[in-house]
Amino acid sequence: MSDYYTIEGERPELAEIEVNAPESYIGRKILPTVTLVDKTAIVYYADATADVAAQTNRSDGSGPSATAISGTSATMTCTEACKRGTITPEEARTMGG
């Protein structure tokens, strides 16, 4: 019976197949993807702010005042979406090999 089970465990070769988003899906054009190696992080990003006046003088021995470029931050947590597919042993018998 075990002959009719396919490979067990991780399937990196399946994971590497490029997935084409369905043609009418526009979400990733609107909010482009940023890849992360952590599921939870604090992201810093720029918002539309008024122009900041340049500093024209400073005290001896002190540096210019800093203005944060990515002035806003938020905590983000990736949520999981999963889907399970099934191939029965009966179907595996007809798949050749």
Nearest distance from C-beta of residue 42 to another protein, angstroms? 11
- Count of alpha carbons within 13 angstroms of residue 89, beta-carbon side: 5
Nearest distance from C-beta of residue 97 to another protein, angstroms? 13
- With binding defined as CB under 8 A, does residue 78 bind another protein? yes
Give the three-class secondary structure for 69. Answer: coil
Q: What mask of x and - would describe binding to another protein in positions 1 to 30, judged by CB under 8 A?
A: x---xxxxxxxx-xxx--x-xx-xxxxxxx
Q: Which two tokens stand for residue 86?
A: 């099934």
DSSP character at residue 91: H
- With binding defined as CB under 8 A, does residue 68 bind another protein? no
